[in-house]
Amino acid sequence: MYINQRYIIRDKLYFMIGYRKANGDFMTRIVEEKRDLIVERHPENLIEETLNYFGFDLRGAVKSAGTILGELKMSPFIVNPNNTVCLLPAKSPIRGSLVYMNIQHIENIEPYGKGTIVMCSGNRSIILPSRTTHLVTKVSQARTLRRTIIERNSGIERKIIYRYCRDTGRFIIHNDGDPD
């Protein structure tokens, strides 16, 4: 398997797993639709580089996701705004075993022993040491985030009208279609 130095996260990504080499350096295994590859970088560096490529940063992506979903531990976030690739961190980075899944390819989640098996499109799967109910909730939150971003970027969301209130001297937000 060829070792890459760089990688931009696109919609073909199924999931990526970070691990340490024997010398302590981080590597990332990338699992895509038709290929697997290794990148000599930490997964968070790949995420940051992808976001920078599109003019964003990780801190902003996580903060933006927090404004939509509320403050969550290990929140999903949009990493590629062109393809609305939403990554879901599946395990704590503190443990040194990082897994980020692209929710576009998740087809099914089932219990598997003490963990969970996540089945992706293209007959790919990964077994995680997470509770199934926890993972199902996280995937639902990630899909909500992705759907919200798609709606906002395509003009589907309801229009917001700002009206000035003379009594209070403030602007009041009205959604289009709400009674006055």
Q: What is the DSSP string of 99-124?
A: EEEEGGGEEEEEEETTEEEEEEGGGE
Task: Assess contact for 100 and 90: CB atoms under 8 A.
Answer: yes
Lookup: tokens for 177:
């279609």
Here the tokens at position 7 are 């990688």
pLDDT one-digit tens code per residue, 120-131: 999 999 999 889
Q: What is the mean pLDDT of residues 59-64?
A: 92
Provide φ and ψ at 94, rounded to 5°: -65, -30
Q: pLDDT, tens digit, for every residue of 8-42?
A: 999 999 999 988 888 888 899 999 988 999 999 99
Fill in the amino acid letter for 97.
S
What's the first-to-final CA gap in the chain, in angstroms?
A: 63
Whole-prediction pTM value?
A: 0.80
